[in-house]
Every structure is written in C-alpha cells, then in structure tokens.
Structure 1
Amino acid sequence: MPASIGAVMPFRYIDIYGWKGDFSEKFIKVEFSRSSKYESRGVISFSGGQTADELNRILELTNHTIEATSFAGVFVDGDRERLPYEADAYINQLGWFANVGDVTVPRRTFEYLVKHPSWPTEWQAHMIFMAWADYLQTGDIKFLRKHYDWLKTLSLEEAISESGMVDVTKISPELKEKLKVTYPLGDIVDWPPSQRDGHEMLANNTVTNAFVYMGFKRMADIARALGEESDRSRFSDLANSLKAVMEAKVRGQDGLYVDGIGSTHTSAHSLFIPLAFGMVDNNQRGDVLKTLATKVGSYGGGFPGSVFTAQYLLEGLFESGEDDLALALMLNKTERGWMNMLNKYDATITHEAWDVQFKYNEDWTHAWGAAPANIIPRFILGINATEPGWARWEIKPSKVLTFSAKAKIPTPHGLIDIMYD
C-alpha cells in the first residue's frame, strides 16, 4: 500500500477467549482508511414491508462496499489483488456516482488503467463505458478528448477478423502491443468459470462480441459529443455490421444466440448480455425473456451467472419491462444472491462470488458485487440523467415500487430530493 495509508488488513470481528472480568469497548482502538473524497451524499431508504426492509439491507451492504473499497484512492479489485480492473471499476464507478457524486476517484482509477490495463478481451470495452459514464455524470468534454485516441484503440476495431467478428485467437501481436496487455489477451465471459452456465468458449465468442458491439455504440456517442462526425458514422457502421454478422453466424435454429460460431449451446450469458446492450429485436425479445426466466428457474430462482454479470442481467430485465423478475432475483434467498451474503455470512462488503463453494479463494471485499448501489436508484427509483452533466434528467419509478421511499441523489447541480409515498 502507499506509505500514506500503511498496512491495511480487512477483518470482520475478533473473538477474545479467557478474558477475566468486564470488557469495555474502550480497550479496543480501530483505525480505518477510506478515500478523502468519500462523502455519503446519496441516500436511499425504503419503508412499508419486508421487501422494503430487504432492499435497505442490500443497499447498506453495497453502499458500505463503495465506501470501504475506496481506501487506496482508486477502485481496487478486492483485498487479494488490490489492483484496479476495468469491469470492477465500471460497476464501482456507477455506485460511486450514486453515493458520492465525486469524479476524482473514478478518474484516477481510469488513468491508472490507461497505464496498467488488464487481460480480458471484454474488459477493454469497459474503459469506453467508464468514459461515457463520466461524461453523462459531468458533461465534461475535455476528459473525453484527452483519452479519445486511446478509446479508439480499445474499441478493438482493428481486431475484427475475416469472420466479421472479433476472434480472440487472431488478434495481432501489433494490436496486443498497442493495448499494453502484459498477460495473454483472452475472453472471460464470467468469473469464476463455473459461473458461465456452461458457455462454450469458442474463438468467435458471442458474449465478447456483444461487448465489442456496445463499445462501438458508445464510441459513436463519444465521437458525436466531440464533433468527430466521420468517426461517429464509422463506429455506427461497425456496430451495425457486427450485429448483422452475429445475426447470420451465431443465431441458432430456435432464433436465440448460441455461444459462438460453431456452437449449438445457448448460455444465459448469450441471452442477457446482448439483451442488456439492445441487440435483441422486439420480435425476439419474448423468446429471450422466456428462456431467461427458465434459466433462472433452473438455478432455483438465483442468478444463473456470477456476482459480476448480475449487473447486466438486471439491466437487461429492467430495460425489457421484466421488473418483477429483476426484483425477485435481487431478493432471492438461494445461495446465488445478496441475501445469501447477508444471512449466511453477515457480510458487510460484497463478495467476489455468491458463495465460497463457487470459489474456494473468493475475496470478501469485492466491489464488482455492488451492482444494487446503482441498479436501485437507476431502475427502481428510475432516476437517470438524460443529457450529459444532468442538464436534464427523468424520474420513472418502477412498477415494483409498491412501498414508500425517500432518497437524495447527487448531481453536479446539487441533490435531487425525493419522497415517494
């Protein structure tokens, strides 16, 4: 750790055996570290029944996670590694904006990752997502301009192979060198591997290419914001072309995406990642949602993917009007949900995996599990910026909000103060 912080060891509780006589809390001194930029400005509380109480517990868990994992002044990937990773940082950033509103820590994390990128193919797109989230929050075009050329490299435009998709086995050494990736570049889909719902890891991977597609879409948005019209048009064309190729090459006989070129298997991830990214057309949406509901049922009502991909499954469900299923997943009592962390482990910070049985060396301080910190304000309260810098915003409460809520949502212009009765 930096010298200014010193040694940091997260702990949950201490058992003291054999103490004679009374024991006072004055006998214990606890020191903690968090970012100097952390200030709990965003507050949400629900009332009116069991669902409200359980959402409050999950919010307390995920919001404290955002606070506690800021101790290094950047978003770190748990205590085992203590390094920023792109996907983790993006989910952390969204929760940080909802809680704190500060841009310093997210930007410092982004700048670190520009110099020290990590290896998963899909993680490259998350830097584009982070840059766009920064612009929506701040309206600051200078940050986009500063990193624009690097974001173009991260789009993986240069990695489209003769198949018309990104083939991870054919990414050139020259591009890998440009990307500054020190480990072998590879698709991850989900982590740990046991949480991929049997996804076939093929070279032309549906999930990877869905992330590339969304990266192209966001790059078109960024190019538009910067007035780079030729780039905007090119990235829009790249997105449309990639979607068309995937429609032709990874669409199964049942009309659903399979896991990649040559696959006959459809994992949950090949359904909900494209769904979250707007790749599922209206005439296909019903079948995708029906199959997803079946997948969830096969896991006893728990998440069919990991803690990380819960972000995208929930986004896809809420954006498709499946608010009831999304809420049921958030509150599910199986071993594959946040209530398991709370009830079984008395968690105060979200875990790397849903349960130790899924990852023997799982980290108990992992902010990529803190999706509810952003999902609840964005989709249950329905508060979102519709123009960069919150110049305009909307509130569209979910149909599942059948109980009362009070909230303060930080924006660059001050707090949005909400009471929902």
Structure 2
Amino acid sequence: MHRSLLISFVLSSSIFALERSPVIEVTDKPLKVEDLGGGRFFVDFGKETFGNIRITPGNVPTGTKARVHLGEQLAAPRSIQRKPGPSIRYQTQELALSSNTAASPSLKWAPPDWMKEGWLELPKGAQQIMPFRYVELEGMPPSFKAEQIQRVSVQIPFDENAAAFSSSDTHLNAVWNLCKHSVKATSFLGLYVDGDRERKPYEADALINQLSHYCLDARYDTGRLTHEYLLEKPTWPTEWRLQSVILAWHDYLWSGDDTSLKKHYNELVGRAMTRQRTPEGLFRGWNKGDIRDIVDWPTVERDGYDMNPEVKTVVTAFHYRAVVLLAIIAEHLGKREDAARFKGMAEVTYKAVNESLWDEAKGCYMDGLDPATQDRSGHASSHANFFPLALGLVPADRVPKVAAFLKSRGMVCSVYGAQFLLEALFDAGESETALSMMTSDKMRSWRNMSEKVGATITMEAWDPSLKPNLDWNHAWATAPANIIPRKLMGIEPIEPGFKRFSVKPQTSRLKNAKVKLPTPKGPILLEVSGTTAADWKAKLVVPAGTVAEFTCPFAGQPVATGSANKTPSRVLRQDKNRSVIGLPPGTWELSVK
C-alpha cells in the first residue's frame, strides 16, 4: 500500500528553484515476528528502509506503555545492537499504546557535530524517519498480535516491475537485487543523498545513483533535480564539480529532454574550470583550500596514489571528459564557436596526457606531474589508469597494456571507484575479470556487505575496517545496478532518448542471462544464452520508435530473424572482426554461423 504525493518539496534559491521529487509512503508487513515471552517480541522486516513503525489499535488497558527498539544491526540472534558504530543507526523510544488510535515512536535525527550546513531537512510537520530493518518490543500487552505492527517507509514512486535481471549466476542476481533495493530505499528525501550520516547530496554519489536509477525505472526527475541542486550548492572535491557536466549529459542522453541543458549551459561551462588548464592542456588541481582533489574516498582506497603533484592524471581525465561533452552539448545547442573551442581543448588534453603521463616501459599512466618542472610522479596507481580508460583517454593500441595493469592490481579502490574500474574493464573487453569482481566474496565486494557484514542496503565503504564511521545506506555503492545492464548486457543509448541504442553483450562465462531495461520508448528486453559461437543465441525486443545496433560477441556470419518485421536487419560495419547489425523495432532472434 502507498499514499502518493505525501510530500512535494520546493525550496527558494537565488538562481533557480531547488526542488525535490515527490515522495510517497509505502506500508509493509514484517517478514518475521517472534514472541520471546514476557511481552517481548523480535520483528524482522527482511530488508532495511527509511521509515517508522506503526502499531495499529488493539485491546489494551488505558495508559499502557511499551518500549520500542529500532536498528540496522544485530548484536546476537533476535537482539538489536544497542551500541553500533558511529553511523550505524539505533534508537529506542517509549511508546504509549491505545485502543483507539495507531501509535508510532517519535524518532530523532540531527546532523553530525562537525557538519555546519548542507544537510536536507524533512519538510515542516513531517514525522522523522530512520533506516532500520529490526524492531524489538518490550512491555507489550497479552492481546498483541503480529498483524498489528507495520512499517511505514518513505521513498520516491518506484515501479518494481520496470526493470528485471536474472542469470545463471545466483551471486550476481543477489548483487543486482541488493543494488536495486538500495536505490529505492535511499530516495526518502526526494533527492539523491549520501545516506543517513549527512543527508546531503554530493556529485559523485549522484552520478552513480543517477545511472543506477535510470537502469531501474524510466524516471529522470530525481536525477535531474539533484544535479540542478548541486549546480547551486556544489561540494568540495575538484573532480566532483567536473562531474556536473557528466550528470547533465546523462540526463539528456537517457531522457531525451534538453530543457535542463538549455537552462544551465553557462553553469555547466563554469564547471569545466578551464582557467585551471596548463599551457600544455593538463589540469592544475588543488591540494588545499575550499576545493581539493579527491581521487578516491576514503583515502585508504587510493592504491597509494601520489597526491603531491598539482597535475593529477585522474583530475585531468575528468576535465577531459567535461570538455568533450561540452563540445557535444554546445553543438546541439547551436553554439558552434563554443563547440569548436571545447573540441580543440579536448584534443590538446588528449595529446598532453598521452605524451606526458604515459610510461612506455611500465605500460601504464603515472599519477601526475609537476607543471613547473614537468617532472612526472614515480608512482602508478590503478586509479591513474582505470579513470582515463573509462573516460575515453586511452588510445586503442594502449588499451591491452592498461587492462593488463588493472587486472594485476585487482579491486584496490572504493565502492565509488568501482563504478569506473568496472566500466574500464568492460570497455577493454575484460568481461570475465569484471564479472568476477561483481561476484567476489572478498572484503572489497558487494557480497561482503550483505553476506558477512549483514547490510541489506549498500554501504558507504566495502567494510568497517576501511572506514570505521561508514553508514549502511549509501547508494553510491550501487554500480552493478547500472554496470550489469549497460556493460555486461551491453545496452546503452547512442542518440538521446534511446532513438538509437547499442547492444554489445559481454556475458562471459554466464550460461544464460536476461534483462529488462526501461527507456522513454518502452522496455528493451534481451535474453542471451551460450558461451561459445556454436551455442550462442540471443533474443532482443526493440521498442517502437527506436533502432538497435547489435554487436555480435563472436566472429562469424550473423543470423538475425525477426518476427513480423517488414524491414530486414543489415550489417552496418565490422568492429574488431565482430559484425554490428542494425535492427528496427520488433522481436529478433540472433545467432552466429
């Protein structure tokens, strides 16, 4: 059950309205209620959400008071952890029960002591909520029944059936489901926030949350509004400000709506920070001040990155991507001079990175250089290589070397960095390595979060040992929710609004996999089976108003059979000895001879 349009947020601003998506109330029943005796009950809702509990009226004596405990973590079976880590949530409240009205505890929340501004408040009059999975009840009357307790969660409207994924790997399926639930459950403020520790939007959080949300529901308002909020209230990391251009591009490419691009073009140009370009076309960042280079977070996840040089390969890679996209955006908006200027900047930066930061002997990019002396850092991190690869800076002839370097390093980045590491590996054709990372149960894995730590929403970091003050409700760790449909199954828009899209499956060792991806034109359905050219088959549903470009995963003669299609398929081109086939709307079955 849900109550729609519970809250609609609008805040005033000097530049433009800072709005939020409407949110709704969703009521669910417990997965399990155990009677522990003596008026004590243990309640498990199965998964964590943001909300509160409601105990419906029952036959209780006047003045009956119970004690309620809500929490994210267990200390023992049927016992909530009363003293969890700094950002893991637990609250206890006394609750007056009634025979006439429903009762809910009065929850509390306050920003951390060190945080002076930036968090989002719930609207005036809204009941406070918290993230929790478990409930303990004490002092309940003998008449209490399990069906009297409900959880009332707050979230944006979310179509559970808009997207789907399943495969022959049960671990991969579980990871996708974990990430899907995380996107839905953390939407309680109508904007993408960093979790319950700060309740504040950040660009990097929004970037991953945006792509994951788009792959789960064809709803683009929350991503757009979060992006526009951050144009007004940017955060401190250098790269994350640069990511505003990427956020804007994703919004347009996936939705097909260029309203926000037109409205905020000047702000986007400012986010590229072209004044920080060196004469060679590299980007001069900051090691101190109100804006600072971040590379990755927490700091222990930087793979030893040399943070001393003012020019850092990672920061320059994000600047490069920003000016590449600004050239495309400017061209679309008819700003030809701007388009030419940004295109020229991108070409200069591409040349500078590949001449100044590449080490041929080591076969990888180094962390940075001193712009005054041109002395290059002596350290090469995974980050200095997977970010450039994911952001389009690596020439084709160097991709195998960079991929080999990344494979040798493994998962040595944060949950945020994992988004770009996985993209880089898939883009390099290293699908088996990327798939193994998504299904791993090592400390830096999604299975570690769920199977070993016990979280049901993705966490701020891989493990408490890496960030003692992590929270258990951070959607910036949901990379698989978008990597699986976009890279493993290979479905991505080529033209805005999915007028044209690519399908390049890299299902590796999976015996079978199928995905449903929502788009503005309707869902794209893809089923793939087989691991060799001899037994490989695919079935693709191309929605009306779109055209697919399907890249066969094996060399050979492609066979495409359409049902009720008057327009035949045709081979458009060859891509590394793989046929790329154009497929008009309809249902297609594909194989390779």
If the length of structure 1 is used for normalisation, what is the TM-score?
0.90
Q: What are the within-5 Å matches in structure 2 for residues 47-58 of structure 1?
A: 47-48=167-168, 51=169, 53-58=170-175
Please state if 1:284 is matched with 2:405.
no
Tell which structure's C-alpha radius of gyration is larger.
2
Q: Which residue of 1 aligns with 2:316?
A: 209
Where 2:152 maps in the other structure, the secondary structure is coil
Change (3 A) 1:368 1:4: farther
CA distance in 2, matches of 1:131, 1:16: 47
Most deviating of 63-72 and 153-162: 153-162
Most deviating of 402-411 and 345-354: 402-411
Match of 1:115 among 229, 232, 235: 232
User: What's the offset of the Cα at 1:419?
Assistant: 3.8
Q: Deviations over 1:255-291 (max 9, x none)?
A: 4211110310001100110111121112222221111
CA distance in 2, matches of 1:136, 1:87: 18
Where 2:398 maps in the other structure, the secondary structure is helix
Change (3 A) 1:4 1:85: farther
- RMSD in angstroms over aligned alpha carbons? 2.1
CA distance in 2, matches of 1:170, 1:360: 24
Letter in 2 for 1:290: A
Please state if 1:228 is matched with 2:349.
no
Where 1:227 maps in the other structure, the secondary structure is coil
Where 2:193 maps in the other structure, the secondary structure is coil
Identity %: 40
User: What's the offset of the Cα at 1:139?
Assistant: 1.5
CA distance in 2, matches of 1:162, 1:384: 36
User: What's the offset of the Cα at 1:348?
Assistant: 1.3
Q: Which residue of 2 aligns with 1:176?
A: none
User: What's the offset of the Cα at 1:237?
Assistant: 1.1
Please state if 1:153 is matched with 2:270.
yes
CA distance in 2, matches of 1:157, 1:416: 39
User: What's the offset of the Cα at 1:45?
Assistant: 2.9
Match of 2:197 among 80, 84, 88: 80
- Relative contact order (C-alpha < 8 Å, sep 6+): which is higher? 1
CA distance in 1, matches of 2:365, 2:194: 31
Where 2:130 maps in the other structure, the secondary structure is coil
Q: Which runs of 5+ in 2 are unaligned?
A: 1-121, 370-375, 530-593
Please state if 1:327 is matched with 2:448.
no
CA distance in 1, matches of 2:514, 2:398: 37
Q: Which runs of 5+ in 1 are unaligned?
A: 172-182, 297-302
CA contact (8 A) 1:197 1:269 kept: yes
Match of 1:2 among 113, 123, 134: 123
Q: Deviations over 1:178-218 (max 9, x none)?
A: xxxxx710000000000000001021111111111111111
Q: What are the within-5 Å matches in structure 2 for residues 216-295 of structure 1?
A: 216-252=323-359, 253-261=361-369, 262-295=376-409
CA distance in 2, matches of 1:98, 1:76: 18
CA distance in 2, matches of 1:86, 1:351: 17
CA contact (8 A) 2:281 2:345 kept: no
CA contact (8 A) 1:197 1:267 kept: yes
Q: What are the within-5 Å matches in structure 2 for residues 22-421 of structure 1?
A: 24-35=145-156, 37-48=157-168, 51=169, 53-162=170-279, 164-169=281-286, 184-201=290-307, 202-252=309-359, 253-261=361-369, 262-296=376-410, 303-400=411-508, 402-421=510-529
Where 1:39 maps in the other structure, the secondary structure is coil
Letter in 2 for 1:273: F
CA distance in 1, matches of 2:303, 2:144: 50
CA contact (8 A) 1:141 1:225 kept: no
CA contact (8 A) 1:190 1:308 kept: yes
Where 2:415 maps in the other structure, the secondary structure is coil
Q: Deviations over 1:87-126 (max 9, x none)?
A: 1101111111111111111121112111111010000121
User: What's the offset of the Cα at 1:366?
Assistant: 0.6
CA distance in 1, matches of 2:516, 2:258: 26
Where 2:451 maps in the other structure, the secondary structure is helix
Structure with the larger helix share: 1
CA distance in 1, matches of 2:285, 2:165: 44
The total of aligned residue pairs comes to 400
CA distance in 1, matches of 2:507, 2:172: 15
Where 2:173 maps in the other structure, the secondary structure is helix
Structure with the larger strand share: 2
Q: Deviations over 1:337-364 (max 9, x none)?
A: 1010111122211111000000010011
Where 1:13 maps in the other structure, the secondary structure is strand
CA distance in 2, matches of 1:381, 1:285: 21
User: What's the offset of the Cα at 1:42?
Assistant: 2.9
User: What's the offset of the Cα at 1:21?
Assistant: 7.6
CA distance in 1, matches of 2:287, 2:472: 36
Most deviating of 362-371 and 409-418: 409-418
